[in-house]
Amino acid sequence: MGRHSTLLNRSWLAAALLVVLISPVVSLAQSSATQKTDETEKTDRPNKADKSDVFTADAASRLLENIRFGLEGHDPRKMLSVFDIAAMKGGAVFRDRIAAFFDQYESFRVHFNLVEASMQGAEGVVVVEAELDATPTSSLAPPVRKRVQLRFLAANRGSGWKFTDVQPRSFFS
């Protein structure tokens, strides 16, 4: 019975050690999943701060994140959701250019470095250093890398801030 008892004690010890070693990994994975869910919810629903009359760096960052999520998720609707197409000069042409842009490339990687978020009268102004890597749908075309400074104008539409212009628009072509 001494040998059986020793094996049983070793089994319990091994199980306890396994639980101790795995618990932090499981906890970290759950924390990471919760954080990703929270981040997605923040960008998918308007925030009370977006309704403010003052355009902030946080509001600019949320709009830029939706553009990034739209591009990297290859979801033109998500990307265009941050633009007030009706208020944009040449908005319909811009919308069509974005559709063609998504048709031309199968994947995107984008990085925005926020340089400035400020107010000019009632409009918000955002200046970002933008980098874009795009993989064409055609295997004959080479990958594209763009690096440019973009300037966005934003207006508060009651339900939150939306971009009403971006320059240069050629970044999205």
3-state DSSP assignment of residue 115: strand
pLDDT by residue for the chain (173 residues), tens only, comes to 555 555 445 554 444 443 444 444 334 344 444 444 444 444 444 444 455 788 999 999 999 999 999 999 999 999 999 999 999 999 999 999 999 999 999 999 999 999 999 999 999 999 999 999 999 999 899 999 999 999 999 999 888 999 999 999 999 98
Query: Alpha-carbon distance 140 to 101, whole Å?
Result: 17
Backbone angles phi, psi at 58, to 5 degrees: -65, -45
**CA-based diameter of the chain, in Å?**
87
- The whole-angstrom distance between residue 158's C-alpha and the CA centroid of its chain comes to 23
Q: pTM for the whole thing?
A: 0.70
Measure Cα distances from 83 to 59, 90, 111 in Å. 13, 12, 18
Nearest to 151 by CA among 121, 118, 173: 118
Provide the CATH topology of domain 48-172: Nuclear Transport Factor 2; Chain: A, (3.10.450)
